Amino acid sequence: MAAQVVPNMDRALAPLAMSPRSSKIFVYGTFLWIQKPRTQAFFGTADEPDIALEILREFSASEFVGKLHIKPVIGHWAVAQFEEIRRTAWYEVSEKAPQFIVFDMQGSGPWEVLHFRIESDESGTGAYVAVALRQFQKGRAPIWVKSLRNSLVPSDSPSE
């Protein structure tokens, strides 16, 4: 019996995690924008990701569309609904000045946010928010990202 080849095994997406209840693949991180405060009022903390993206479609190792999941400070991961995210600071920035928002993926660094949109699956169980991301070419991330990332590192942790 010949070995089965699985496409995209060498993809550059850093840490991928599978949900323990399914074979869905997720990446974790947070949205950064040029004037992001050190902490946020409702979602996550500076120490842990507040966003999970379930990979829905991959166009290459450096470009994909993912279903947006959010995790409140207290609670469990849930599929993001548009009504929830449209009032977040990062979504408002993406609407007004999309060049000033990135997705900072754990283990991979900043990714360009191409767009957000509302989608639904074939089962029709409900709409969800999808985001399209593209990895910045090496050395091409906006210059403000590095200084912002450094300012968000907790003071008792070593900086990069």
pLDDT tens-digit readout, 8-38? 433 444 345 544 456 889 999 999 998 877 5
Report the C-alpha gap between 53 and 129 in whole angstroms: 10
79 falls within a domain: yes
Those residues whose C-beta lies under 8 Å from the C-beta of residue 31, and which sit 6 or more positions away, are 51, 90, 94, 101, 102, 103, 104, 113
* In-domain check, residue 7: no
Domain membership of residue 10 (yes or no) is no
Instruction: Compute the C-alpha angle 46/47/49, nearest 5°.
Output: 80
CA distance 77 to 28: 11
Q: How far apart are the first and last CA of the chain?
A: 47
* Range of the structural domain that residue 81 is part of: 18-152
Better-scored residue on pLDDT, 113 or 5 = 113
Could you give the number of structural domains in the chain? Answer: 1
Percent of the chain with pLDDT over 90: 50
- Distance, in Å, from the CA atom of 30 to the CA atom of 36, rounded to the nearest integer, reads 11
Asked if the structure places residue 159 within a domain, the reply is no
